[in-house]
Amino acid sequence: MSIVSTDKNISDDQRRQGLYDGQIYVYSPTPATMALCQFARDMCEEAFAPYHPEEAQYHLSVEQYVEILKDLKPNFIHHPKCKELIRQILDEKRCDLERTYFDVPRLRTSTSDQYLTSGLAYAFKPHRDTWYSTPQCQLNWWLPVYEIQHENCMAFHTHYWDNPLKNSSNEFNYQDWNTNGRKAAHNQGKKDNRRQSEALEPVKLEPEIRLLPEPGGMFVFSAAHLHSSVPNISGKTRFSIDFRTVHLDELDANSGAPNLDSACMGTTIGDYLRSSDFSHLPEPMLNAYENLDLSGSVPNLINV
């Protein structure tokens, strides 16, 4: 069963429990989400001027487009205003700012009709974020920057909430990826050769959920949900923002959503910042997660 709630008035503790059970929560625009959305629009519109960001792919060569993204994305990700706005969003959502950590927001682009599907506009195939060294308690928050349609959004493949999927996560190590893979992103043209965790058997895409919040609207889901970028045939580039959170209670207990099939090494927890003061997690916790070996703890793990 897949449960999607809209503007549910519950505590963060209750919401996290629901998220670890596979539920998804959708929210209407608020002052802080609207501000983040507007900030992204301003940066994108300046970067792609004189073209509108949703249409720019029809006026620029792939090389010109990649050059723009190469600056736009890191400028957005690391802008101090983004951190402030995320703190405001989490405060609006009744998160405990002392115990909730987040990482910097990503700005995603999904171009239409396979104009650009690699490198800086990598089209995400069905995956769980937990195949990429996240803790099982990671939660993902997702916002469209402009209006989206069912032909350029993201999709959840809910069959796999409680079914394992054969995958290559045992070859992925976040620390290695940071050293080698991410830096290569802007060098990728039409073909993406970077090592990614991926499904190693045909994926049963249905049943599928596609959520279409209005710009400034948002949804949150467990990083263990299998999800993908839908093939964009809308005629418009989709721009979206996502960021991740973890709560100290679950990090301490190494709990969260069930792990059905992830066996990656390394950890992303060094990226998270405390919402209250943007400080990092304590070093001993980072070391403990970095040395965690999931391969022996997953009963259904299908080796490759």
Enumerate binding residues for Fe ion (CB under 5 A).
Answer: 129
* Shortest CB 286 distance to Fe ion, Å: 22
For 270, phi then psi, to 5°, come to: -65, -15
Contact yes or no for 292/267 (Cβ under 8 A): yes
**Of residues 48 and 141, the one with the C-beta less far from Fe ion:** 141
* Shortest CB 227 distance to Fe ion, Å: 6
Contact yes or no for 153/239 (Cβ under 8 A): no
Burial class (CB in 10 A: 0-12, 13-18, 19+), 178: middle
For residues 169 and 196, what is the distance between their CA atoms, to the nearest angstrom? 8
How far lies 87's CA from each of 33, 77, 82, 217, 273, in Å? 11, 14, 9, 16, 10
For residues 96 and 188, what is the distance between their CA atoms, to the nearest angstrom? 40
For residues 2 and 190, what is the distance between their CA atoms, to the nearest angstrom? 36
| N-term to C-term CA, the chain | 29
* Shortest CB 91 distance to Fe ion, Å: 25
| 209: amino acid identity, one letter | I
**Of residues 56 and 264, the one with the C-beta less far from Fe ion:** 264
**Of residues 15 and 244, the one with the C-beta less far from Fe ion:** 244
Q: What is the dihedral angle through the alpha carbons of 276, 213, 116, 56, rounded to the nearest 10 degrees?
A: -100
* Shortest CB 63 distance to Fe ion, Å: 27
Closest CB to Fe ion: residue number? 129
* Shortest CB 217 distance to Fe ion, Å: 19
**Of residues 52 and 210, the one with the C-beta less far from Fe ion:** 210
* Shortest CB 261 distance to Fe ion, Å: 15
Contact yes or no for 259/136 (Cβ under 8 A): yes
**Of residues 56 and 137, the one with the C-beta less far from Fe ion:** 137
**Of residues 129 and 261, the one with the C-beta less far from Fe ion:** 129
* Shortest CB 195 distance to Fe ion, Å: 16
* Shortest CB 168 distance to Fe ion, Å: 15
**Of residues 18 and 126, the one with the C-beta less far from Fe ion:** 126
User: Cβ neighbours of residue 16 under 8 Å, at least 6 residues apart?
Assistant: 137, 139, 247, 250
**Of residues 68 and 105, the one with the C-beta less far from Fe ion:** 105
Longest C-alpha distance within the chain, in Å?
Answer: 54
